[in-house]
Amino acid sequence: VQLQASGGGLVQAGASLRLSCAASAVSGRTFSMYVMGWFRQAQGKEREFVATISWSGTSTTYADSVNGRFTISRDNAKNTMYLQMNTLKPDDTAIYYCAASPNYGSRSTSGYPYWGQGTLVTVSS
């Protein structure tokens, strides 16, 4: 699967932003066959888990740092995943990456074989 993240930008603390991840399936595998996830990487730090959503969207898991502020969702008919980010903080500043996996439950980058190019989110104080 090929992934393209978009929607990043510069916002003030407390604002909201919605990221999108458009998927193009290859080798006969459809978007709904993949678990999807969001990760982020701040400058000088390792890439970290943000959220993941199951194949049909019925199950989601969040990092503690974003739980209650961010919402992951997907529209399998549109081959697209979303990350609604509310009450943004300066600590949320990072490049956000979408990723795909055949298996649900991993919070590790190694659990996701497929990655998009990333979109930059900058939150000013």
5-53 pLDDT per residue, tens: 999 999 999 999 999 999 997 777 889 999 999 999 999 999 999 999 9
Confidence (pLDDT) at 25: 78
62-93 pLDDT per residue, tens: 999 999 999 999 999 999 999 999 999 999 99
Cα–Cα distance for residue pair 91/123, rounded to 1 Å: 8
Confidence (pLDDT) at 28: 75
Confidence (pLDDT) at 27: 73
Confidence (pLDDT) at 92: 98
Confidence (pLDDT) at 105: 86
**Residues with Cβ < 8 Å from 39, sequence gap 6 or more?**
47, 48, 49, 50, 96, 97, 98, 99, 109, 112
